[in-house]
């Protein structure tokens, strides 16, 4: 099987982070070729040597269009129609164990289009941090990128690529599956956040980088905590050490945790406690409590279906 993986990574450090190198080494076991796509920069001699030793080809591009912008440029450069398996992977998740389980599942199930997880949030889609294409899905992938081009607005990227690509492939009759599927499961919110600990316990090999770094982006962590999210990175790392028994875990997560200072940590802890209390009150419909429920908590719970 002729295969290629386009791995995109955005970082500002002087050298490729260790967790990215670990990820690349694991991917090399399952793909014939790896293209390492990153933002324009001068690679250090040690990084050049690392990539050369693994026969990984670097591709430096202008930072535009987010991950799909990087993949769009790669698909324009490389003739993907000549491959049997295409991987689109990014570094928004941290890999902490072997990918053997996923690829054994992939070989058994043989879907045309697959990913680590799927999601019903907004509309059904395979989550875009790890996507694999086979057979006719490769033709449709190339066609879809050609039709939609380079998009730079984040909301458009989410609508057209993050969600729209899956819709396009499903409508084209492509066989779609996910390693950990949450289709029609009634799962609250994004399973990569809300189900992270449960998946890790069941052998899932990845965790969102934003969880470990407490970098929530546009997500409101108060609302996430109110509906059951665990906001403490140490809980995830401790669990990962327990289930893997690997001596590489500290190295993989080194430099990822961010401190907020004494007062920042105090505020964070207090906010999480309050959010959890409000969430519990709403779940049990304790509406007689004479407090004003914050809009962000009520909104998050209403979307989850826990309150009407």
Q: pLDDT tens for residues 10-38?
A: 988 889 999 999 999 999 999 999 999 99
Range of the domain at 283: 191-304
* Tokens standing for residue 192: 């990569």
- Indicate whether 95 pLDDT > 50: yes
User: Where among 160, 180, 200 does a domain terminate?
Assistant: 180
Q: 31 with 107, same domain?
A: yes
Considering the domain architecture, whether residues 16 and 97 belong to the same structural domain is answered as yes
Q: Is residue 59 part of a domain?
A: yes
Judge contact between 68 and 157, C-beta under 8 A. yes
Q: Which residue, 180, 211, 244, sits at the end of a domain? A: 180
CATH of the domain at 157: 3.90.550.10
Of 158, 180, 202, the position where a domain reaches its end is: 180
> Would you say residue 129 has pLDDT above 70?
yes
Q: Are 207 and 236 in contact (CB under 8 A)?
A: yes
Q: Cβ neighbours of residue 179 under 8 Å, at least 6 residues apart?
A: 102, 105, 106, 114, 115, 116, 117, 204
Q: How many domains does the chain have?
A: 2
Q: What angle do CA 132, 52, 42 make, to 5 degrees?
A: 95
Please report which confidence band the pLDDT of residue 259 belongs to, taking 50, 70 and 90 as the band edges.
low
pLDDT at 258: 63
pLDDT in tens, 44-59: 999 999 999 999 999 9
Does the pLDDT at position 81 exceed 50?
A: yes
- Could you tell me the pTM of the whole model? 0.88
Q: Which residue has the higher pLDDT, 51 or 293?
A: 51
Q: Which residue has the tokens 């879907």?
A: 111
Note the pLDDT tens digit of each residue in 116-127.
999 998 899 999
| pLDDT in the model for residue 290 | 35
For the chain, count helices (H), then strands (E).
15, 10
The three-state secondary structure class of 116 is strand
Closest to 115 measured CA to CA, from 138, 91, 88: 88
Q: Is the dihedral of CA 51, 57, 63, 68 positive or negative?
A: negative
Residue 70 has a CB neighbour count (10 Å cut-off) of: 27
- Domain match, 90 and 16 both: yes
Residue 293, pLDDT > 50, answer no
């Amino acid at each position: 099987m002729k295969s290629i993986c386009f791995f995109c990574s955005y970082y500002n450090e002087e050298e490729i982070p260790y967790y990215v190198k670990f990820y690349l080494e694991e991917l090399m076991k399952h793909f014939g070729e790896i293209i390492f796509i990153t933002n324009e920069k001068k690679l250090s001699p040690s990084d050049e040597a690392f990539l050369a030793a693994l026969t990984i080809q670097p591709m430096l591009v202008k930072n535009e269009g987010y991950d799909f912008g990087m993949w769009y440029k790669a698909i324009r450069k490389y003739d993907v129609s000549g491959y049997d398996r295409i991987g689109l992977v990014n570094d928004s998740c941290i890999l902490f164990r072997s990918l053997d389980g996923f690829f054994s599942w992939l070989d058994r199930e043989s879907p045309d289009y697959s990913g680590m997880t799927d999601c019903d949030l907004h509309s059904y889609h395979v989550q875009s941090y790890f996507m694999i294409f086979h057979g006719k899905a490769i033709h449709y992938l190339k066609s879809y990128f050609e039709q939609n081009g380079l998009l730079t607005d984040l909301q458009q990227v989410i609508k057209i690529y993050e969600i729209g690509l899956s819709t396009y492939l499903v409508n084209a009759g492509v066989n779609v599956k996910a390693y950990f599927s949450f289709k029609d499961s009634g799962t609250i919110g994004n399973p990569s956040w809300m189900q992270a600990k449960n998946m890790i316990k069941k052998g899932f090999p990845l965790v969102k980088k934003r969880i470990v770094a407490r970098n929530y982006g546009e997500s409101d962590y108060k609302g996430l905590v109110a509906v059951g999210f665990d906001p403490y990175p140490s809980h995830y790392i401790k669990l990962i050490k327990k289930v893997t028994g690997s001596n590489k875990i500290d190295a993989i997560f080194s430099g990822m945790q961010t401190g907020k200072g004494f007062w920042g940590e105090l505020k964070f802890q207090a906010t999480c406690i309050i959010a959890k209390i409000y969430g519990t009150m709403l779940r049990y419909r304790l509406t007689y409590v004479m407090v004003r429920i914050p809009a962000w908590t009520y909104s998050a719970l209403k979307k989850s279906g826990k309150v009407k």
